[in-house]
Amino acid sequence: MAGKVVIETDNVGTTERYHDESTAKSDDLESQVFLPKPNSRVSRRPTAATVDAALSDSDSSLEEIPTKKNSAQHQVPRLLFGAAGIYSAYLYYGHIQEDLFKYRSTDSTSFQSVWLLQSLECFANIFVGLVGRRIFGGRANLSLRPFIATGCSQVFAKAFTSLALAAGLSFPVCILAKSAKIVLVMLGQLLLGGSKYGLRDLLFVLLIVCGTALLSAGSSQKHKDETDTPAGLCFILISLVMDGITAGFQKRLKQTYRATPPSTYDFLLYTNLAMCVVALSISVVTQDLITGLLFLGENPVVAGMIWKVCLCSAIGQSFIFFVVATFDPMVCSTITTTRKMLSVLWSVISKGHVLSNQGSVGLALAMSGLVLEVQGKFTKLSKECEKQAKICVKNASTK
């Protein structure tokens, strides 16, 4: 076997080492992995402990691949979790809200203090936001300006929906109009958020909107004290416009904090702080606060309904902001739109309404759109999983 003596010199002294040519290739391979430190002037062969440590690091880097892949797959149960929370909270919310504005006192007056209602809802949401940030934490040093814009538009959207019901707009027509919310959300994100949508997105939106509208109109009859007043129709139109603006602001807010996004309870707390300031200010200026408190004192039943509405709102908004923070306002709008469809179904079952042929067709259309939308989300998640897995494999191979 050919070999030679190599003389190396360092600060300590001179060292002789026998170099075997047959192991040169092996030495070169190891030298690619175990490089000497830049300041070192001595080339040392790796010890057994060094080899074991390096192999252990290599194994751990490979184990990161399925972990990162699973992080995208975990979005599916998160989506189901968020949707279930929104459905359960707001189904009961809508049920109580309908009873609240249908209620008539002994002198035939009804509850009209919608700004007081919004203020009480915001107080409940702020409390939940504070508790949530205390337990789960939140991001520090957030700028409140984006939350102010989102909160202002959102409180007007909610208040004008209540004003439409208080003005006598029938509950089915209100739901029918609000089902078009998803269209304005897409428009708001196109103009304010820079989003883009394809033909598939437009198709499932059309199916959901048309189906929900047909189902809403074909599953319930007008109450004798409900009339589709021009004021009610104007209020619901303003509410729809504010819904679209809110979605655009939420999209822009997420893009602003893309690197370190706010938590669910950051969204809940700061948005409702802005909403509360607006609602309470309007309630005080218009004397809505005093009138509402007097009505609640004379009608304890309504006070009980309002506390239930506030509780459902706090729970529901926690899930809404969870979906917005984790996914997208478009996903949230899809969930809330289909929730309105389920609200009509619950009204049909619990209040004895009969589902007409028109309502049955609407249910089929809406369900078809929902299936198409869910299929698109699963396809998108699958592609994201594959993309992240390829990136992880590429990064691991370069180490």
Does residue 112 have a pLDDT over 50? yes
Count the domains in the chain.
1
Q: Look at residue 316 and give its three-state secondary structure.
A: helix
Helix crossing, 199-218 with 171-178: angle to 10°? 180
Does residue 193 have a pLDDT over 70? no
- Residue 176 pLDDT level (bands cut at 50, 70, 90): low
**41-55, 113-127, 176-190: which has the highest mean pLDDT?**
113-127
Mean pLDDT, all residues of the chain: 74
Q: Does any domain span residue 40?
A: no
Which residue has better confidence, 366 or 377? 366
Q: What percent of the chain has pLDDT over 70?
A: 66
Q: Does any domain span residue 66?
A: no
Q: Does any domain span residue 146?
A: yes
- What does pTM read for this prediction? 0.64
Does residue 25 have a pLDDT over 80? no
Residue recorded with tokens 């007409």: 356
Burial class of residue 268 (count of CB atoms within 10 Å of its CB; 0-12, 13-18, 19+): buried
Strand partners, 20: 3
Question: pLDDT value at position 192?
Answer: 66
Does residue 119 have a pLDDT over 60? yes
Q: Does any domain span residue 21?
A: no
Q: Does any domain span residue 94?
A: yes
Does residue 104 have a pLDDT over 60? yes
Q: Does any domain span residue 97?
A: yes
Does residue 47 have a pLDDT over 80? no
Does residue 81 have a pLDDT over 80? yes
Does residue 37 have a pLDDT over 60? no
Question: pLDDT value at position 114?
Answer: 93
Residues in the chain: 399
Question: pLDDT value at position 26?
Answer: 44
Q: What percent of the chain has pLDDT over 90?
A: 20
**Domain range spanning residue 271?**
77-377
Question: pLDDT value at position 215?
Answer: 67
Question: pLDDT value at position 397?
Answer: 72
Does residue 220 have a pLDDT over 60? no
Q: Does any domain span residue 45?
A: no
Q: What phi, psi does 260 have (nearest 5°)?
A: -130, 85
- Residue 170 pLDDT level (bands cut at 50, 70, 90): confident
Dihedral sign from CA coordinates of 151, 157, 158, 159:
positive
Q: Does any domain span residue 388?
A: no
Which residue has better confidence, 6 or 288? 288
